[in-house]
A and B are shown apart, each in its own frame.
Chain A
C-alpha cells in the first residue's frame, strides 16, 4: 500500500518536472513547502469576491486559517456573486471606482482589467516573498503575465484539463477494447464509427472553447483561435482547418449529433447528453469528475485525448482561475499577503482535500491528495494530470468569446455552413476585435 503510494508520488513528481518544463526541487515527504505562507505586516480590512458557493466555503475556511495563523486582527468580507452575473457586476463596481480588494478572474477576462491598469502588479510581492513563479505550470500562470517584464499579476487557484469520458458499457457491447493514452485520431474515428447505432452517437467532441474543438486544433501544433498576445486569428490556418474538418467528417458521417440534438452549446450540455446514454464518448473537463461520480448510471472511465497522427501529440486546453488584487486597493500589502497564503501549500490544502477542482499548487503531495479525495473509484483520474504535460494555455478574451465559443460551432455543426466559410467569417470578426 505504502509502496504503491510512493510510486504514484514519484510519478507525479517526475510528471511535474516534465510538464512544467522547470526543475522542481526534489521533494521528500514533509519537506519544505513549494510555496510558503508568511505573516502579514499589518492587519486590516479586505473585501473579496468569488463566484461559486462551493469555492466560497473552501476559500472561507482557508481565510479563517490565514487570520488565525498569519494575520490576527484582519477582517475579510468574502462575497459570493452568481456566476452568470459576476463579470457584469464587476464592471458595475469598477465603473463606480470600487473594485473589491481581492477577486477571482478567469484568464480570458484578465486581459480587460490588466489592460486598463485596474490590477495590482503582484511581481514585487512574489520577489519580496521569495516565490519562484516558474514553479507553476506555464499554462496556469502565463496568461496572467502582463507588461514589458512579464510580471505575474495573479495567484493561480486551480487547474483544469480535458480528457475523453467514455461509456464502458457501450464499448463492451460493441466488442471494442477500451482506449489507452497512446491512441490516435484514426483510432478515435474508428471507435466512433463502431459505437454509433440507431439510438446512440459514437462521439461528441466539438462543443465549447475549453472542452471542444480547440483541443483538436492544439494537437496539430496550431494555437487555437487566436495567437498568444492577441496578434492574429488562427482559425483559417492549416492546422485549424485540419482539426475542424476531421471533426466535421465524423459529424457528416452521422457519428456525432448536431448542436440542437444535444440541446445546447456548452460542455455541460454535452455531459448531460453523455450521461443520459445518448453518446459513447465526449470531451470533458476535470471539473466534471464529482458530477460524473455522483450522477452517471453506467460504467465509465476517462482517457487522455487521442494523438494527432502527424504530430504525435495530444494537447489539452489548460485553464486556471486566478486571485488578483485591485490596483487602487487601500490595503494592497495585505491583499498580496492574503493571495500568497491562498496559493501557498497551506492554503491550497483546503482545495486539495475538498475533492472538487484540482489545486494549482506545484506540490506533488497536494496533487496526490486531490486524486485521493475521489476515493477508491478506480477511475483513471491520472489522465487529467497527464494531460498537463503537453497542454495549451488560454489565449482568447471576452469580446470574441461568443463568436468562437458557440456561434462558429453552431454554424458548422448545426446550420451546415462549410468549415472554411464559417472559420473565415469568425476570423474576420476576431481580427476586428484585436488590439489596434
Chain B
C-alpha cells in the first residue's frame, strides 16, 4: 500500500530517472522561499479571508456572519465609488507609467555625456520622503498659488480645484503615483535593456534598419519579459494604491469629498480601522484580491502572444 502510493507519487515527479531528479531539484530549490511565504504571509491571508465571514469590531469576540458583509457591498455607494476609482486609477497610471519609464530608460541608456547624473535625478523620487513629496505636490496642484494652474490659466482651467473637487481629484493622485513609481520602472527597464544582445542591433544595422526600426523590431521584442514584469507589477501595485491617496487627501478631506478619491485598498482600511468593521474590511480585501487575481491570470495566459523568452523552458 505504502509502496504503491510512493511509486505513484514518484511517477508524478516524472517518468524517467533524469526528469525525476530534475523535479526533486526543482522542488528543493523553491522550497525555502515558498514555505516561508506560505507560513509568514499565507497564514495571515487565510485568517484575513476567514474574517470576511465574521462580524468583528476588533475587541468583542467575532461572530459568524455568513455572506452578510458581501451583501453589504451591494447597497454601499462608497464601495461602488471605490471600485470605480480603483479601475480608473489603474487605467491612468499603468499605461502612462510604463510608456514614460520605457522612454526615459531608452534615453538614459544612450551613450550620452552626463547620463549617470540624469539617472540619479530620475531615481530621486524613489528616495524622496513620501511626506515631503506630498507637501510639494499639494502645493504644485494648489489652485491659487500652484504651478499647474498657472500653466492652465491661458486654457481657461486656472481655477481647477484639483485636490477637493470630486471630478478632478484622481488626476493629481495618479500623477504622484506615476511620478513615484517611475524610478522603479526605469531601473527595471535599464536592467532589461542590458539583456538585449548587442549583436542583434548590429545585425539589424547591417540589414539597413534605422533607429526606430531597430527599437521596434529588436529592442521591444527582446524587452518584452521586462515589459511584462513592469505591467504585471504595475497593475498589482496600482490596484493597491494607498499611500498616495492617504498623503494627498489627508490635508484636505481624507479619502476625498464623498469618497471621490477612495479606492478599494483605501476603503477596506477605512472600514476596518476607522469603522471598526474588520469583517467588512476583509470582505472588501477578498473582492480586491479576486479582481487582481483575475487580471493577472488573464495577463499570464496572454503573455505567450507577446512575451518573448530566450529559453523555451518558460
- In the complex they form, do A and B come into direct contact, defined as C-beta atoms under 8 angstroms apart? yes
The answer to the question of B144 belonging to the interface, with a C-beta cut-off of 8 Å to chain A, is yes
Count CB-based A-B contacts (< 8 Å): 69
Q: Which residue of B lies closest to A403 (CB)?
A: B253
Q: What A residues does B58 contact at CB under 8 A?
A: 91, 94-95
Complex Cα distance, B139 from A414, in Å, reads 16
With contacts A94-B58, A116-B60, A260-B163 taken as known, whether A87 is within 8 angstroms of B273 at the C-beta atoms is yes
The answer to the question of A261 belonging to the interface, with a C-beta cut-off of 8 Å to chain B, is yes
Q: Is the CB of B163 within 8 A of A407?
A: no
Complex Cα distance, B138 from A159, in Å, reads 32
Q: Which residue of A lies closest to B57 (CB)?
A: A116
1/0 per residue, CB under 8 A from B, across A111-143: the answer is 011001110000000000000000000000000
1/0 per residue, CB under 8 A from B, across A88-113: the answer is 10010011000000000000000011
Q: How many residues of A contact B (CB 8 A)?
A: 28
Q: Is the CB of B59 within 8 A of A410?
A: no
Complex Cα distance, B274 from A402, in Å, reads 10
Complex Cα distance, B276 from A260, in Å, reads 31
With contacts A91-B58, A415-B165 taken as known, whether A260 is within 8 angstroms of B142 at the C-beta atoms is yes
Complex Cα distance, B58 from A113, in Å, reads 10
Q: What A residues does B67 contact at CB under 8 A?
A: none
Q: Is the CB of B161 within 8 A of A414?
A: yes
Q: Is the CB of B57 within 8 A of A410?
A: no
Which one of A112, A265, A411 lies within 8 Å of B276 (CB-CB)?
A112
The answer to the question of B290 belonging to the interface, with a C-beta cut-off of 8 Å to chain A, is no
Q: How many residues of B contact A (CB 8 A)?
A: 27
Q: What A residues does B273 contact at CB under 8 A?
A: 87-88, 91
Q: What B residues does A411 contact at CB under 8 A?
A: 257
Chain A interface secondary structure, helix, strand, loop or mixed?
Answer: helix
Q: What B residues does A259 contact at CB under 8 A?
A: 164, 252
The answer to the question of A309 belonging to the interface, with a C-beta cut-off of 8 Å to chain B, is no
Complex Cα distance, B62 from A116, in Å, reads 13
For window 200-254 of B, CB contacts with A under 8 Å fall at: 251-254
Q: What A residues does B79 contact at CB under 8 A?
A: none
Q: Is the CB of A260 within 8 A of B161?
A: yes
For window 31-57 of B, CB contacts with A under 8 Å fall at: 56-57
Shortest Cβ gap from B101 to chain A (Å)? 30
The answer to the question of B279 belonging to the interface, with a C-beta cut-off of 8 Å to chain A, is no
Which B residues are closer than 8 A to A by beta carbons?
A: 56-60, 138-139, 142-145, 161, 163-165, 251-255, 257-258, 273-276, 278
Complex A-B, nearest 3 residue pairs according to Cβ-Cβ distance, in ascending order: A264-B251, A116-B59, A95-B58
24 contacts between A and B (CB under 8 A): A91-B58, A95-B56, A116-B57, A116-B59, A259-B164, A260-B252, A261-B142, A261-B143, A261-B145, A263-B138, A263-B142, A264-B138, A265-B251, A265-B252, A398-B274, A399-B275, A402-B253, A402-B254, A402-B255, A406-B253, A407-B258, A410-B257, A411-B257, A414-B161
Which A residues are closer than 8 A to B by beta carbons?
A: 87-88, 91, 94-95, 112-113, 116-118, 259-261, 263-266, 269, 398-399, 401-402, 406-407, 410-411, 414-415
